[in-house]
Structure formats: structure tokens, C-alpha cells
Amino acid sequence: MGGNRKETSVTDVLSTRPRSWALIICSVVLIAVSIGAAIYELTTALEGVPSSDAWLAVGASTLSAVVGLVFLGAWTRMKPSVLAWLAAFAWGTGGALIFAGFGNGFLDSAVEDSGVAGSTADFVTSVLTGPVVEETGKGLGVLALIVAARKLLERPAQGGVLGALVGIGFAWGEDVGYYVSALEDGMGGLWESFLVRAILGAYAHAIFTGVFGYALAWAVLRANSAVSGILAGVGGYVGALALHAQANGVGFLAPEDSWNLTYGAIEIPLFVVSVALLVWGLRRHRATLEA
């Protein structure tokens, strides 16, 4: 029965996908640039840390990253290419993270040297300058990938996925440092940090940068003029900044005795809505292909 039917494997699907030399070259460059940066960031974060704490920190950070990657992989089939996926994640862990490290360091010093009061300085660097530096660093990689992949992209949601991948990579590297610091208070400290960063603030960086990626892909695929495309890209960038700023700002507004509850009540619904919109965008395209 069905003797002439040919089974299609994942390898067959990947091998028959259209290719873009621009995307291949862009991906290779981003990966090459990011490898050294990621190694530097990781070794710096783990310098002098006991091996048991290092493994715990890396393991906790990797757990949430793997869950996010598996979810995205299941819905997108790793489009527009596996290499682009690797480049997006690598840029987040390396290029974007080191850009943010130096950028935040420079601006934090400038704010401190300005003589601004301590609490005000913390607010400025966390809610204002921090989001600008980090979303710019992450966004540079997303912009490069989406421009390079413009001939392969089918839906704006795929741009959102590339942005989310950069965000997941960024969070992976950043969280290692946070978990190392949290382990100074033992396993209880690690759990508290994991609760906030991986559960209550689930995939925050992926959401921020995913918004920018979606807007850029929309500009490439849907904009009917250069002006509307630029406005869409700028709007996505501003949206990413606003989401990042509000997430960081909760720490200054939430009551200390109910901080986790307040943070989760804001960020978890945002996460649910973001996932729902992404799945809708990807399913809508799949339904159109199957119709």
C-alpha cells in the first residue's frame, strides 16, 4: 500500500530549502565575531568561581534557554535556515553581550561621575540607559540577519523569531553572571534569582528583541515605501525599549514585601500574550500554505 510514496525526512526538507549567499555570509561573520566575545564573557563571569557553582549557574541558565529553543524550533522548523538560527543565538551570547557590557560600563560611569544621587543614578542606568544600550546591541545582529534574509522570509513572525533567538542567547550569557552572584547566598539565592529571571520574567529579552525583529521583518516584507519601512523599524525599536524599561522599572515601583507577586502579575501576562501572537503569526502562515 502506497508503495510509490516517498517519505520526506527533516534532512530532505532542509536540503531543499532556498539559500541566500547574503544570509550565509552574514551568519558566518556574526558567528565568528561572537565566538571570541562569548568565551571572554563566560570566562570573566566564572573567574574564581568554584566549579560546583559554575556548573550550577551554567546549568540553570541553559535549562531556560533550551526550553525556549525547543519551543521555537517546534513552531518554525528552524526557518529561514539553521545557520541563521546559530548566528542569532551566537550574537546574543557574544556580540550583543559584550557590546552591552562595555556600553553599560561607559554610561554607568558617566552617570556616576555626574554627581546624580545614588537612587536616581540606579533608576537612570536601569530604566533609561540600560535598555537603550542592550536593545541596540541585540538589534544590530537582528537587523543584519533580517536584511540578509529578506529574500527567504515569508512572514513577519519569522523576524520575531530571529529577534527572540538573539534575546534568548543574550539572557543565557547574562543569567550566568546573575546566578553566580546569587549562589553566594546558597541554593536559596539561586532559586530566588531563577524564579525572577526564568519564570516570573520568562524570556523577557526574547520578547523585547522579538518585537524589534517582527517590526523589521514587516518593514522588509510589507512596507510599500521607504518611509513606512523606516517608521516600522523605528516603532519596533521604541517598542522594545519601552518593554525593557517597564520590566526594569518594576523593581523601583513594586512594594518590597510583594515584589515577586507584582513583577509576575505584569510580566507573565505579557509573556502569554507574546507567545499567543507569535504562534498565531506562524500558524496563520502554515494554514495558508496548506489551504
Q: What is the structure's pLDDT at 79?
A: 82
**277: confidence class by pLDDT, cuts 50, 70, 90:** confident
What angle, 0 to 180 degrees and rounded to 10, lies between the N-to-C axes of helices 95-113 and 82-93? 30
In angstroms, the CA 54 to CA 233 distance is 39
Q: Does 110 score more than 60 pLDDT? A: yes
What type of residue is 101? G
pLDDT at 114: 83
Whether the predicted pLDDT of 18 surpasses 70: no
- Region 264-291: mean pLDDT is 74
Of 33-42, 72-81, 183-192, 278-287, the one with minimum mean pLDDT is 278-287
* Per-residue model confidence as pLDDT tens digits over 245-260: 999 988 777 777 777 7
C-alpha cell recorded at residue 142: 537582528
In 3D space, the residue among 182, 230, 214 whose CA is nearest the CA of residue 280 turns out to be 214
3-state secondary structure of 21: helix
| More confident site: 63 or 277 | 63
pLDDT at 290: 37
Residue 164 in grid coordinates? 527572540
Question: Does residue 291 carry a pLDDT above 50?
Answer: no
Read off the pLDDT of residues 146-202 as tens digits, 9 standing for 90 and up: 999 988 998 899 999 999 999 999 999 999 999 999 999 999 999 999 998 888 887
pLDDT at site 260:
79
On average, the pLDDT of the chain sits at 87
